Chains A and B, each alone.
Chain A
Amino acid sequence: MSQIKVLLVDDEIEFVSALAERLQMRNYIVNTASNGLEAMALFHKSPPDVVILDLRIPGMNGIEILKSIKTFDPSIEVIILTGHGDIESVEQGMKSGAFEYIMKPIDIGELTAKIDSAMEKRRKSLT
Chain B
Amino acid sequence: MKKFNLSNFKEWFISHDLFGLLGSDRYKSLKRRIVILEVALSILPLLIVVTISYFWFQQILKDDYRNQLKWDIENTGQSIETFLNERLSFLRFLTLSYKYDELSDYKKLSNVFYAFKREFPGIVDIGIIDDNGIQIAYAGPYKLTGVDYSNQNWFNEVVIRSSNISDVYMGYRKIPHFSIAVKKDLPEKEGFWIIRATIDMETLKKYVYALNIGEKDDSFIINKDGILQTDTRFHGKALNKYIETPIPSNEQTLVKECDIKVHGHQICGYSPIKNTDWFLITVIRSTPYARIPGIFRNELFFIIIFSILLNTFITTVIAQAIVNKIKQTDMEREEAIASCEHAGKMASIGRLASGVAHEINNPLAIINEKAGLMKDILESSDDLQKNKYKFLSLLNGIFDSITRARTITHRLLGFSRRMDLSHDLFDLNEAIKEVVSFIDKEIQFRNINLVLNLSPELPRIETDKGQLQQVILNIINNAIDAVEEDGRIEVITEMRDNNKIRIIISDNGIGIPKDKIKHIFEPFYTTKEKGKGTGLGLSISYGIIQKLGGNISVESEVGKGTTFSIDMPLKYEAI
Chain A residues at the B interface, C-beta cutoff of 8 Å: 12, 14-15, 18-19, 21-22, 25, 56-59, 83-86, 103-106, 108
Cβ–Cβ < 8 Å partners of A22 in chain B: 369, 372-373, 376
- Contact status A104-B365, CB under 8 Å: yes
CA distance A108 to B377 in the complex (A): 14
Given contacts A15-B362, A56-B445, A104-B362, A85 and B369 within 8 Å (CB-CB):
no
B358 CB–A CB distance under 8 Å: yes
Query: Nearest residue in B to A84 (C-beta to C-beta)?
Result: B358
- Contact status A18-B361, CB under 8 Å: no
CA distance A56 to B370 in the complex (A): 22
Cβ–Cβ < 8 Å partners of B369 in chain A: 14-15, 18-19, 22, 105-106
CA distance A33 to B355 in the complex (A): 24
Cβ–Cβ < 8 Å partners of B42 in chain A: none
How many Å from the CB of B504 to the closest CB on chain A?
27
For the complex, count residues of B whose C-beta is within 8 A of A: 26
CA distance A66 to B355 in the complex (A): 23
CA distance A85 to B377 in the complex (A): 31
Q: Which of these, B364, B372, B397, contacts A104 with CB under 8 Å?
A: B364
Given contacts A18-B394, A18-B397, A84 and B365 within 8 Å (CB-CB):
no
B175 CB–A CB distance under 8 Å: no
How many Å from the CB of A20 to the closest CB on chain B?
9
In the complex, 22 of the A-B residue pairs with CB atoms within 8 angstroms, ordered by the A residue number, are A12-B366, A14-B366, A14-B369, A14-B370, A18-B394, A22-B376, A25-B373, A56-B358, A56-B445, A58-B444, A83-B357, A84-B355, A84-B357, A85-B354, A86-B354, A104-B361, A104-B364, A104-B368, A105-B365, A105-B367, A105-B369, A106-B365
The B contact surface, by secondary structure, is helix
- Contact status A84-B354, CB under 8 Å: yes
How many Å from the CB of A81 to the closest CB on chain B?
9
CA distance A114 to B553 in the complex (A): 53
How many Å from the CB of B212 to the closest CB on chain A?
102
B326-350 residues at the A interface, CB under 8 angstroms: none
Cβ–Cβ < 8 Å partners of B444 in chain A: 58
Select the residue from B358, B365, B372, B380 with max chain A CB neighbours within 10 A.
Answer: B365
B354-405 residues at the A interface, CB under 8 angstroms: 354-355, 357-358, 361-362, 364-370, 372-373, 376-377, 380, 394, 397, 400-401
How many Å from the CB of A109 to the closest CB on chain B?
10
Cβ–Cβ < 8 Å partners of A12 in chain B: 362, 365-366
Q: Which of these, A21, A25, A84, contacts B361 with CB under 8 Å?
A: A84
CA distance A84 to B369 in the complex (A): 17
B276 CB–A CB distance under 8 Å: no
Query: Nearest residue in A to B358 (C-beta to C-beta)?
Result: A84
Q: Mark B428-449, 1 if CB is under 8 A from A, else 0.
A: 0000000000000100110100
CA distance A84 to B352 in the complex (A): 12
Other than the known A22-B373, A106-B368, A108-B376, what 12 A-B pairs have Cβ atoms closer than 8 Å? A18-B366, A18-B372, A25-B373, A56-B358, A56-B441, A84-B355, A84-B361, A104-B362, A105-B368, A106-B365, A106-B369, A108-B372
- Contact status A58-B366, CB under 8 Å: no
- Contact status B394-A105, CB under 8 Å: no
Query: Nearest residue in B to A25 (C-beta to C-beta)?
Result: B376
CA distance A84 to B362 in the complex (A): 9
How many Å from the CB of B360 to the closest CB on chain A?
9
CA distance A84 to B380 in the complex (A): 32
CA distance A15 to B447 in the complex (A): 22
Query: Nearest residue in B to A108 (C-beta to C-beta)?
Result: B372
Cβ–Cβ < 8 Å partners of A15 in chain B: 362, 365-366, 369
How many Å from the CB of A99 to the closest CB on chain B?
20
Cβ–Cβ < 8 Å partners of B394 in chain A: 18
- Contact status A83-B401, CB under 8 Å: no
- Contact status A14-B401, CB under 8 Å: yes
- Contact status B358-A18, CB under 8 Å: no
Q: Mark B550-562, 1 if CB is under 8 A from A, else 0.
A: 0000000000000
CA distance A105 to B400 in the complex (A): 16
Select the residue from A58, A59, A104, A106 with max chain B CB neighbours within 10 A.
Answer: A104
Query: Nearest residue in B to A59 (C-beta to C-beta)?
Result: B447
Cβ–Cβ < 8 Å partners of A105 in chain B: 361, 364-365, 367-369
Query: Nearest residue in B to A21 (C-beta to C-beta)?
Result: B373
Query: Nearest residue in A to B442 (C-beta to C-beta)?
Result: A56
CA distance A59 to B446 in the complex (A): 8
- Contact status A85-B365, CB under 8 Å: no
How many Å from the CB of B441 to the closest CB on chain A?
8
CA distance A104 to B400 in the complex (A): 18
Cβ–Cβ < 8 Å partners of A84 in chain B: 354-355, 357-358, 361
CA distance A56 to B446 in the complex (A): 10
Select the residue from B361, B368, B369 with max chain A CB neighbours within 10 A.
Answer: B369
Query: Nearest residue in B to A14 (C-beta to C-beta)?
Result: B366
How many Å from the CB of B361 to the closest CB on chain A?
4
8 smallest CB-CB distances across A and B, nearest first, come from A105-B368, A84-B358, A18-B369, A104-B365, A83-B361, A105-B365, A84-B357, A15-B366
How many Å from the CB of B436 to the closest CB on chain A?
17
Cβ–Cβ < 8 Å partners of A59 in chain B: 447
CA distance A58 to B445 in the complex (A): 5
Cβ–Cβ < 8 Å partners of B366 in chain A: 12, 14-15, 18
